Amino acid sequence: DSINLNYIENAFDFDMAMLNWRKVTETNFNVVEFEASFGISNQIKHSCCPEFVFAGRSNVGKSSLINKLFNRKKLARVSSIPGKTATINFFKSEAVRFVDLPGYGYAKTSKNEKSRWSELINSYFLGNRNIAIVFLLLDVRNKPSKEDIIMIDMLKNLCLLNGISGD
């Protein structure tokens, strides 16, 4: 229902997008495997299929959610220490990639490392990606942080934020 079709420029693109969406809806999501990790933006491979992106603060539960969705305890690396996901991690199914972005905000790390993560996330979103949906995870126990608001604004500006859901 909420497919963002803003990038489609002609009928051929529309047909290809609908074909890709049919592949997504027919995908066996029980068959998901780790594909690759990238710590530098110029390492990231071209987007070849729709990408479901998980974004949010450090330690908000992005990797845990990925593991829970696929009923796998060790698909995505999880740690109780914030900032362990320092790379963009790609997981591939038959027709979809799932993308686990590094967290932002809370992690106690150097300014250089935080700057690298910020550049990596910005380059990912500003690159020519086939982003189907972004799941921005927020901790409902706390008010959105300054970094959460910046991410929400960026996703709005890129037409990647269609709605906000929460309890």
pLDDT tens column, 42-99: 888 888 889 999 998 887 878 888 888 888 878 877 766 666 668 899 999 888 899 9
Q: Give 51's contacts (C-beta < 8 A, 6+ positions apart).
A: 96, 97, 98, 99, 129, 130, 131, 132
State residue 8 phi and psi, 5-degree precision: -80, 125
Amino acid type, 4: N
Is the pLDDT at 7 greater than 50? The verdict is no
Identify the band that residue 26 occupies on the pLDDT scale cut at 50, 70 and 90.
Answer: low
Q: Are 62 and 101 in contact (CB under 8 A)?
A: yes
Say what the pLDDT of residue 46 is: 86
Identify the band that residue 11 occupies on the pLDDT scale cut at 50, 70 and 90.
Answer: very low
Give the residue from 141, 137, 167, 165 showing the smallest Cα distance to 151.
Answer: 137
- For the question of whether the overall pTM of this predicted structure is more than 0.75, the answer is yes
CB atoms within 10 A of CB 113: 13
Say what the pLDDT of residue 82 is: 62
Give CA–CA dist 17/37, Å, rounded: 26
Long-range contacts of 67-73 (CB under 8 A, 24+ apart): 69/29, 70/29, 70/30, 70/32, 71/30, 72/32
pLDDT tens digit string along 99-156? 999 888 765 677 777 788 788 888 999 888 999 889 998 888 889 988 889 889 989 8
What's the mean pLDDT in 7-16?
A: 44
Cα dist. 127→11, 47, 50, 70, 123 in Å? 23, 9, 14, 27, 6
Helix ranges, 1-45 (H): 11-25
Amino acid type, 122: N
